[in-house]
Structure formats: C-alpha cells, structure tokens
C-alpha cells in the first residue's frame, strides 16, 4: 500500500512538473497563429467597407473581417466609416440624418477604380451574410449606445455564433451598453495615442487604459499598432494592470505584424490580409 502511495505522489509530482514546463513554453513562445482581420475588408485592393472588399478578404485567407457601422435616420445599421458620404461617394450626405434608401442610391466603389462602379453602402446584415462558417466579424460601432438595440436584433437573426463576433468601439458608454444588453458577446475598447505634451509621455497610459476597460466592462483592448508606444514593456504593463487580451490596428508592414505576433496579440487588423498572411504564416484554428 505504501508503495502504491509513493507511486501516486511521484506521478502527481511528474504531472505538475510537466504543467509548469508547459506554462513556461507558452509564455516564452506566444501562439504563432494570430487572427488576421481584414480592415474594412481587403481595403488595400478594393473599396473599403463594401461587399467587394469583404468578399475579397475571404479570398485572401483572412480569419475575420472588420467594418465600421452607423445608424441611419430610419433605424438601419449601415457599413460606413465616416459621418458623411463625401469621401467615398463624392456626395455629402450625413449618415445619421439620411434614410437607407437615400444612402443606397450612392456609388461608393468608383473612387477606388472603375471596376468597382456600382458598389453600394451595405447593411450590417449584408456584411454578415458574407461570413463563412468558422470565420469571424469584428463590428466597430461608430454610433452611440442607441445602436445597441438594433444591433441585437440584427445579430439575433444572423445565425452567427457568439464566438464569431467581436464588438469594438472608442466609446466607453457604447461598450458598456453592449455588455449590459448582450453580455454573451466579447468586446474590446479602442484607443490610439497622443503625446501628453511636446516632450511628455504618450497617453493613455497602461493604468488609464485598464481603468477605461474596467469602467466599460470590456473583455480586452484594441490598440493602435504604434510600435513606439506599444512595446514589450507596455504589453507587460497592461498585463500587470489585468489587461491580457489585445488586438492591434492597422498593421500593413510584415515586420510590424511579426512584432505584434511575438507579443501575443489576439488579432492583427490589416488592409492587406494576403500580405500579412504570408508574413506571419499559419492560419488561426
């Protein structure tokens, strides 16, 4: 009996030692297959936030697509980055003051090239319809918390699984509203960086980011991919503040992508998914 007990405890010790070694390997060698997320679709090659760009992103082996979403005057969620249509359509309509019918009269493809003539501003439901099984959509909310109830309706009818969806926003209140009404969805709060003064530190700092994420109830952080700020030390400072999950945007240079891959980013958002796929290798499973 004593011999059996000794074998048991020896086995437990061996198991624990193996687990410690495994944890060390994981920490020193972050997962090598980050999510490659197509920023506004494959927007280097096709007009941003159009179905053409999203479909091309899948052809370029993106793991996910990211789009910007706003609310129309008549309560529809449409995919457009700016508050107005002037930059991509050449006609200046305010999205929040316009109806879906008015917005969908506009051509938002020709500015990129004649081969994209006739591309229209898509609905969120149109964009979701392009998402293959097992792939993901990152939904950046450009409106305030008033968009959350319509968002819930669209997602309920979408057929997507919660793990296929990440909701992101620069607005704390919007993220908080998503977590309150759709607590099963993952969210990231977004921020870029500005110098505090001409010679001062960049803001927000790691503690400020962590505080914002706690206030919003977000699950992680979406960071501007600025390597002068987001260093290994900054990553570690975030982790010490309790922020472990992060993604970076907008990363179009292979060297930058490999750097953030080594830091363990959940995802790398890029205008050039084919190039970045080639740069960082294996697909996320």
Q: What pLDDT digit, counting tens, does each position of 16-27 carry?
A: 333 333 333 333
Q: What is the pLDDT of residues 205-243, one digit of tens each?
A: 999 999 999 999 999 999 999 999 999 999 999 999 999
- Ranges of the chain with pLDDT below 50: 1-32
Model pLDDT, residue 197: 76
> What confidence score (pLDDT) does residue 217 get?
98
Q: What is the pLDDT of residue 282?
A: 66
- Is omega for the bond preceding 275 within 30 degrees of 0, making it cis? no
**CA distances (Å), origin 237, targets 29, 104, 200, 218, 224:** 19, 45, 18, 18, 16
Q: Which of 155, 152, 186 is nearest to 169 (CA)?
A: 186
Chain centre to alpha carbon of residue 95? 23
């Amino acid at each position: 009996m004593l011999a059996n007990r000794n074998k048991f405890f020896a086995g437990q010790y061996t198991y624990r030692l193996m687990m410690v070694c495994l944890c060390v390997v994981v920490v020193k060698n972050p997962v090598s297959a980050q999510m490659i997320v197509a920023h506004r679709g494959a927007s280097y090659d096709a007009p941003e936030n159009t179905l053409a760009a999203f479909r091309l992103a899948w052809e370029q082996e993106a793991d996910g697509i990211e789009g910007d979403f706003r609310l129309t005057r008549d309560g529809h969620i449409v995919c457009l980055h700016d508050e107005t249509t002037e930059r991509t359509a050449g006609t200046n309509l305010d999205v929040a003051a316009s109806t879906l019918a008015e917005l969908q009269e506009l051509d938002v493809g020709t500015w990129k090239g004649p081969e994209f003539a006739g591309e229209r501003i898509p609905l969120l439901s149109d964009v979701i319809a392009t998402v293959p099984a097992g792939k993901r959509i990152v939904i950046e909310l450009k409106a305030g918390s008033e968009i959350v109830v319509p968002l819930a309706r669209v997602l309920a009818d979408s057929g997507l699984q919660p793990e296929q969806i990440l909701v992101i926003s620069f607005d704390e209140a919007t993220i908080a509203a998503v977590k309150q009404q759709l607590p099963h969805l993952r969210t990231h709060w977004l921020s870029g960086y500005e110098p505090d003064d001409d010679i001062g530190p960049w803001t927000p700092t790691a503690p400020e980011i962590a505080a914002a994420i706690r206030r919003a109830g977000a699950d992680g952080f979406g960071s501007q991919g600025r390597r002068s700020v987001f260093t290994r030390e900054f990553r570690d400072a975030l982790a010490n503040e309790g922020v472990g999950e992060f993604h970076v945007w907008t990363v179009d240079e292979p060297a930058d992508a490999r750097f953030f891959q080594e830091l363990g980013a959940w995802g790398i958002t890029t205008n050039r998914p084919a190039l970045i796929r080639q740069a960082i290798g294996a697909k996320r499973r």
